[in-house]
Chain A
Amino acid sequence: MQSDLLKRPLPVIYRWLGDKIFLTVVVLLGLTIIFLALSMAWVLYKEGSLAIHQFGVIGFLKGSVWDPGVQYVFGALPFIFGTMVTSIGALAIAFFPAIAIAIFMAEYAPSWLSKIIENLVHLIAAIPSVVVGIWGIFVFAPWMRETVYLPVVNFATEHYPSLLPVLGSPIGYGMTTATIILALMIIPFTTALTRDAIDKVPREQREAAWALGATRWEVIRMAVIPYARGGIMAGTMLSFGRAIGETMAVAMLIGNKNNFPFSIFGPAATMPSVIINEFREAVGNMHLSSLMAIGLALFAISLIVNLVAAYISRKLSITGGQAI
């Protein structure tokens, strides 16, 4: 039957045309995405060029004063610093719990429990960040202020008054609150990506460790984590990328203070938070251009983080080791 079908002559023009149309569509769509990314970068650069020319690339990135009111001077350093500190802090807080949840899900939990946890993790990841933000404003930040910040600041006032400027004002909306909320928000991503990496570890690897008389934890340490490390690191970097770009919840909780230096508990700002807070009020060309330049810097940092993630995952992932 098949041979009959094959024997039937197919119009050459039809086959030729179908191929061409498909090729054209695929190539066009593929190019669109590259074009979009490049044009976005170009627009950010063009709009931000006023500020970049005024202060210079290095000068803008290193400038620690952001004053749209009086001096009309714009430097991105406070926001770059705020972004990095909150993101790295969030990553540090989120990393081990996320790995632990992933290992528990993949290795220890019975499958029904594992499924429940997995769904919960996805659910948490799906909460809109503005909802997380409003929960932070009305529940989490006041709670942190009462239970952590105020006692710590009171203690410091009595015993180490010199620490007070470092700690900052304990209003509840500041860098620490934003960092913790950010950590809560990236835990689901790190967990999901780590779990994927752990799931990819071949069964044979685990069994090889079992057969050597390894205990459960030893199997994880000996066979699972080394094999999955590429995926785990790449997943962590991707979560880091998300933390850098996270806007709404951070803007709602970080207190939004543009003056450098920031304190531990006190208000601060990040690159996304300053953009979302000031773009409506930015009437001056230089102010708007500076915000665009911050957008460009954010774009570049996110791009670098993603490239590093891809590099790490390629460098550390196990390929060919099992090939015969």
Chain B
Amino acid sequence: MEVMTKIQSHPTKNNLFNKVRKAFSNENNPPNSHGNNNGPQKPMADNNGPGRIKTGMQSAGNREKNMEKAAKKEGKEVRMETKNLNIRYGTTVAVDNVSLPIYNHMVTALIGPSGCGKTTFLRALNRMHDLTRDAVISGEVLLDGKNIYDPRVNPVTIRRKIGMVFQKPTPFPTMSIYDNVVAGLKLVGIKNRKLLDEVCEKALKQAALFEEVKDRLKSPGGSLSGGQQQRLSIARALAIEPEVILMDEPTSSLDPKSTAKIEDLIVELRKNYSIIIVTHNLAQATRVSDYSIFMYLGQLIEYGKTHKLFNNPKDTRTENYISGKFG
């Protein structure tokens, strides 16, 4: 509620939406034409080197440019898809029959009031529910057309392909910054020091943390500030080069400055990854996401381009939520 009123009274709100709208102006396809893989494939693979990725804060103009660029080459390839996904805890239905596509190289925001099933849905996407004994899942989650809940699929490989960043920063406190970043690589048995060094530097640069920690890679991960710890968690997730990154309210425990850094980072990362982010902060959803999913009471209410969903919501519940009537 509070957040909403802030957004509405914000003088640059319309400005922001206009920018977003401008960024998407050359894209007219309705978002729910999923399964349409015939469009132009994303021209992404060209300059993927670490040098391309800028560190530190970006200006708003830069951010806008990025969005515009990404929108232009939007190929709308479906990366993940859920089909009739149901999740319940005992008798409580947390996610009710949700079917939707997740597009490649897009940031998809999951919004909705507390307890609407956003986090439960997100955690189903990389089988984190395997760890909670009472969650019952039915339906399908497809990654590149393959059901990740297929009994023949090893959840460990799924989680390597679909990384996750949590609400709280979770560096391993007994490991150094360096060891934290390469933890995922060491798991798969990579011991080559040179390779590890390279990956560590690349991941830290991608997470816009390298400049701040390059002189103290050996100090413990817990010694960083909260925002740095969260970027370290992102770097650790990036180091194993996942295809999709799930973020569960990654900035909810951070101060505004760190939040801005992470938001810049998300916009930057969409070039190489597909990102799904759960957020309570609607302004954040408009700032970072291409698509938005509004969930309410476990159901998918509305799914569409972020600017459309925020400016012309089709469902009254969406409208009520984004205008702050409930939340």
Main secondary structure of the interface of A (DSSP, over half): helix
**A213 and B157 within 8 A (CB):** yes
Instruction: Tally A-B pairs: CB < 8 A.
Output: 87
A229 CA to B169 CA, complexed, in Å: 21
The smallest beta-carbon distance between A256 and chain B, in angstroms, is 45
Chain B contacts for A324, CB-based, 8 A: 168-169, 225-226, 229, 253-254
The smallest beta-carbon distance between B143 and chain A, in angstroms, is 14
B171: Cβ under 8 A from any A Cβ: yes
Chain B contacts for A211, CB-based, 8 A: 126, 128, 159, 163-164, 166, 237
A227 CA to B175 CA, complexed, in Å: 10
**A213 and B233 within 8 A (CB):** no
Contact indicator per residue, chain A 214-225, by CB within 8 Å of chain B (1) or not (0): 110010001100
A227 CA to B220 CA, complexed, in Å: 13
Among A195-244, those with CB < 8 Å from B are: 204-215, 218, 222-223, 226-227, 229
B183: Cβ under 8 A from any A Cβ: yes
**B170 and A212 within 8 A (CB):** no
Q: Which chain A residue has the least Cβ–Cβ distance from B163?
A: A211
Chain B contacts for A322, CB-based, 8 A: 168-170, 173, 222
The one of B168, B187, B222, B253 in contact with A212, judged by C-beta atoms closer than 8 angstroms, is: B187
B83: Cβ under 8 A from any A Cβ: no
Chain B contacts for A110, CB-based, 8 A: 133
Among B129-159, those with CB < 8 Å from A are: 131, 133, 156-157, 159
**A213 and B131 within 8 A (CB):** no
**A210 and B159 within 8 A (CB):** yes
Contact indicator per residue, chain B 226-259, by CB within 8 Å of chain A (1) or not (0): 1001000100110010000000000001100000
**B187 and A218 within 8 A (CB):** yes
Contact indicator per residue, chain A 95-125, by CB within 8 Å of chain B (1) or not (0): 0000000000000001100000000000000
A310: Cβ under 8 A from any B Cβ: no
A18: Cβ under 8 A from any B Cβ: no
The one of A222, A226, A320 in contact with B187, judged by C-beta atoms closer than 8 angstroms, is: A222
The one of B173, B187, B229, B254 in contact with A213, judged by C-beta atoms closer than 8 angstroms, is: B187
The smallest beta-carbon distance between A197 and chain B, in angstroms, is 14
The smallest beta-carbon distance between B240 and chain A, in angstroms, is 6
Contact indicator per residue, chain A 240-276, by CB within 8 Å of chain B (1) or not (0): 0000000000000000000000000000000000000
A-contacting residues of B (Cβ < 8 Å)?
126, 128, 131, 133, 156-157, 159-160, 163-164, 166-175, 183-184, 187-188, 220-222, 225-226, 229, 233, 236-237, 240, 253-254
